[in-house]
């Protein structure tokens, strides 16, 4: 019943103009490098076959899509992990939003998540990766021009799927926290202190009371020290308060209405405090919950936004109207836009931007550098799809 309802969800598209705009053009391995000037601001799609683009064969397993300028040319590249190949792939950003294969790097078995930051303060972006069966943090220091030095790994002692960066000991250097979910009894997070030269200390574990699903860093009590939030499979968010000296102190857990899949900290009401969004995709029907944070660091009652089997969430101004929207991917095979409204509320019905295979990774950025937000996702095992200039898609 739920699947049928979701497949029929395209009727929610607000107008025939929007429907026509979102229809895919003939599939090509890559779009033209320089489209006509009228295309620079119109709503249009582009498709890439990742096997053709990279020259790889067999199962790829794309995950963890990020848009960052790692070449230093002012255009953003797309970085993604190929879980089944153990590779980091870098796609060079070209004029008008096109992409071409730049290079790839081995990053250990089953890579799951990545972060892009300058961890050695040399002006070049670096890449940090965790992998489930790699049991390690892999660091690739940038050399400029989109190239990286040989990867260096740091043992985590457990299967790791997520990471986040912050300065936990106030020495001016970025540190890394990972969430690790191996076999029962080996659930934890680990903290690795950065030395400022691109190297890190040994991983220090902190046990979690149940299976960790996701990880976020935020200053909950506004003391200037980053804290760690971990969504658990026991309907809770575990909290560790940063002590400012490179250690974490457990605090009271935050109860949840259902088991979580993802957690996101983002200001929902413009008060300058990061609020807590939680993706509940393990229940039927699925939904996204929002809990507003008070000045004392506590959270108010949750608000619910129904979504079909949600998996990943972005809270960004996607349509360019100055209000943050919800961009959601679902395991049912959709990318949905729920438009933000004045006062912090959202449109009652989402717009279906994509229907097909499960979108395994999701990103949003101005990829063609024209001032309008674009959306990118990987679908199934081989497809990278982009929707350019979402605000020009006839969204009412």
In this prediction, residue 40 carries a pLDDT of 59
In this prediction, residue 147 carries a pLDDT of 97
In this prediction, residue 23 carries a pLDDT of 40
In 3D space, the residue among 315, 394, 309 whose CA is nearest the CA of residue 359 turns out to be: 309
User: DSSP character for 21?
Assistant: H
In this prediction, residue 20 carries a pLDDT of 35
In 3D space, the residue among 141, 79, 143 whose CA is nearest the CA of residue 111 turns out to be: 79
In 3D space, the residue among 237, 241, 244 whose CA is nearest the CA of residue 228 turns out to be: 241
The alpha carbon of 103 is separated from its chain's Cα centroid by a whole number of angstroms, namely: 22
Distance CA 388, CA 290 (A): 28
Question: Is the four-CA dihedral 275, 279, 283, 289 of positive or negative sign?
Answer: positive
Distance CA 307, CA 350 (A): 8
User: Which residues of the chain carry a pLDDT beneath 50?
Assistant: 1-38, 396
Q: Terminus-to-terminus CA distance in the chain, angstroms?
A: 29
In 3D space, the residue among 329, 343, 340, 333 whose CA is nearest the CA of residue 391 turns out to be: 340
What residues have CB less than 8 Å from 202, skipping those under 6 apart?
154, 192
Q: For residue 246, is it left (φ>0), alpha (ψ between -120 and 50) or beta?
A: left
Tell if the pTM clears 0.95, that is, is over it: no
In this prediction, residue 21 carries a pLDDT of 39
Count Cβ atoms within 10 A of the Cβ of residue 123 and give its class: 0-12 exposed, 13-18 middle, 19 or more buried. exposed
Name residue 212's beta-bridge partners: 232
């Amino acid at each position: 019943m739920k699947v049928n309802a979701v497949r029929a969800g395209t009727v929610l598209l607000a107008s025939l103009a929007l429907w026509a705009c979102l229809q895919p053009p003939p599939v090509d391995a890559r779009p033209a490098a320089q489209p006509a000037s009228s295309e620079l601001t119109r709503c249009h799609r582009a498709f890439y076959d990742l096997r053709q683009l990279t020259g790889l064969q067999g199962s790829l397993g794309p995950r963890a899509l990020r848009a960052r300028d790692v070449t230093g040319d002012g255009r953003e590249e797309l970085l993604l992990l190929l879980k089944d190949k153990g590779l980091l792939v870098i796609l060079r950003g070209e004029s008008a939003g096109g992409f071409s294969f730049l290079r790839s790097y081995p990053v250990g078995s089953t890579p799951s998540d990545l972060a892009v930051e300058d961890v050695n303060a040399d002006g070049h972006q670096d890449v940090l990766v965790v992998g489930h069966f790699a049991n390690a943090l892999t660091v690739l220091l940038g050399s400029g021009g989109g190239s990286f030095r040989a990867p260096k790994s740091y043992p985590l002692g457990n299967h790791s799927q997520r990471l986040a960066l912050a300065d936990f000991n106030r020495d001016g250097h970025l540190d890394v926290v990972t969430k690790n979910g191996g076999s029962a009894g080996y659930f934890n997070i680990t903290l690795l202190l950065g030395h400022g030269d691109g190297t890190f200390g040994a991983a220090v574990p902190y046990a979690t009371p149940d299976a960790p699903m996701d990880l976020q860093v935020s200053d909950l009590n506004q003391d200037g020290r980053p804290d760690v939030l971990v969504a658990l499979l026991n309907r809770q968010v575990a909290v560790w308060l940063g002590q400012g000296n490179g250690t974490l102190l457990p605090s009271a857990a935050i109860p949840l209405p259902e088991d979580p899949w993802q957690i996101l900290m983002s200001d929902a009401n413009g008060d300058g405090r990061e609020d807590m969004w939680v993706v509940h995709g393990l229940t039927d029907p699925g939904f996204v919950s929002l809990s507003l944070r008070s000045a004392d660091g506590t959270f108010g009652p949750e608000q619910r936004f129904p979504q079909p089997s949600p998996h990943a969430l972005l809270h960004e101004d996607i349509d360019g109207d100055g209000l943050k929207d919800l961009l959601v991917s679902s395991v049912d095979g959709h990318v949905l836009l729920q438009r933000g409204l004045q006062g912090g509320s959202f449109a009652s019905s989402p717009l279906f931007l994509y229907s097909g295979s499960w979108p395994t990774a999701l990103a949003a950025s101005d990829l063609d550098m024209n001032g309008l937000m674009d959306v990118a996702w990987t679908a199934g095992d081989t497809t990278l799809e982009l929707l350019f200039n979402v605000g020009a898609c006839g969204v009412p």
